[in-house]
């Protein structure tokens, strides 16, 4: 569904992406991990069309995205920090997003109902806790039943119960043949969600492997232990 080929992006002297290639298909949950500054956010923004690569290409369902952004209609995005107009209520934010999106969509309000956000629809955004803002961002990402979801630290600021709710939603949507690409610094949260892993370092893809291959290669079930073993073995090569 998404194929990135030799993506390179510089910001001045900073090489944010260095010849990055990867592919991801429907029905999979891809974990995108790496240290801060490894290029994860720039890669997300390139897929979303917010950043135009200096070279390389990205295909969406077999079509080069170029400057034609209609493919975004099939994308759902949850940024690490969601920002909405402070004076708007939660209900007004949802109405605004629906008005901007337009078209014939099958709305997915499962998270809105599970998080019981309709009870808070009259609350203004500037009065909300970070966790509630995160819930709003999650609900908007899933709202239009997109084929592909890009989730940047989706559980940040959420309590354990709310975090588990979104994890179960991710698992459910992958089973419904969606593609979900998720970034998180908490590797334990990915253990039961991801099918594939992309590890980035210094703007490059260090490796892309299926979770099953990683587990077989390292003999470890836990992702954090598996990554530690792989990184140590690479350093000794």
**Domain spans of the chain, in order of start:** 2-236
The whole-angstrom separation of Cα 173 and Cα 29 is 9
- Candidates 2.130.10.10, 3.30.450.40, 3.40.50.300, 3.40.1190.20; correct CATH number of 2-236? 3.40.50.300
Nearest residue to 183 via CA among 50, 40, 67: 40
Low-confidence ranges of the chain (pLDDT < 50): none
The pLDDT value given to residue 67: 66
Encoding tokens for residue 142?
């899933």
Nearest residue to 46 via CA among 15, 9, 1: 9
CB atoms within 10 A of CB 235: 7
The pLDDT value given to residue 63: 85
pLDDT digit string, tens, across residues 120-175: 999 999 999 999 999 999 999 999 999 999 999 999 999 999 999 999 999 999 99
The pLDDT value given to residue 191: 86
Residues in the chain: 237
The whole-angstrom separation of Cα 60 and Cα 142 is 19
The pLDDT value given to residue 176: 97
CB atoms within 10 A of CB 50: 13
The whole-angstrom separation of Cα 219 and Cα 230 is 11
The pLDDT value given to residue 136: 97
Contact 58, 64 (CB under 8 A): yes
């Amino acid at each position: 569904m998404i194929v990135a080929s030799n993506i390179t992006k510089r910001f001045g002297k900073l090489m944010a992406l260095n010849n990055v290639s990867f592919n991801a298909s429907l029905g999979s949950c891809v974990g995108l991990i790496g240290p801060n500054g490894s290029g994860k956010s720039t890669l997300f923004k390139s897929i979303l069309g917010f950043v135009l690569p200096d070279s390389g290409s990205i295909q969406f369902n077999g079509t080069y995205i170029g400057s034609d952004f209609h493919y975004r209609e099939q994308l759902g995005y949850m940024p690490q920090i969601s920002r909405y107009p402070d004076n708007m209520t939660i209900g007004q934010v949802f109405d605004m997003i629906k008005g901007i999106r337009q078209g014939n969509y099958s709305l997915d309000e499962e998270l809105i109902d599970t998080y019981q956000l309709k009870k808070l629809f009259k609350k203004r955004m500037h009065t909300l806790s970070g966790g509630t803002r995160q819930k709003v961002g999650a609900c908007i990402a899933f709202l239009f039943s997109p084929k592909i979801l890009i989730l940047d630290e989706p559980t940040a600021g959420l309590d354990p119960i709310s975090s588990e709710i979104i994890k179960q939603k991710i698992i459910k949507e992958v089973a419904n043949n969606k593609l979900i690409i998720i970034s998180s610094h908490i590797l334990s949260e990915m253990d039961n969600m991801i099918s594939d892993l992309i590890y980035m370092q210094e703007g490059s893809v260090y490796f892309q492997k299926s979770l099953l291959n990683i587990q077989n290669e390292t003999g470890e079930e836990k992702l954090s232990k598996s990554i530690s073993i792989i990184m140590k073995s690479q350093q000794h090569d």
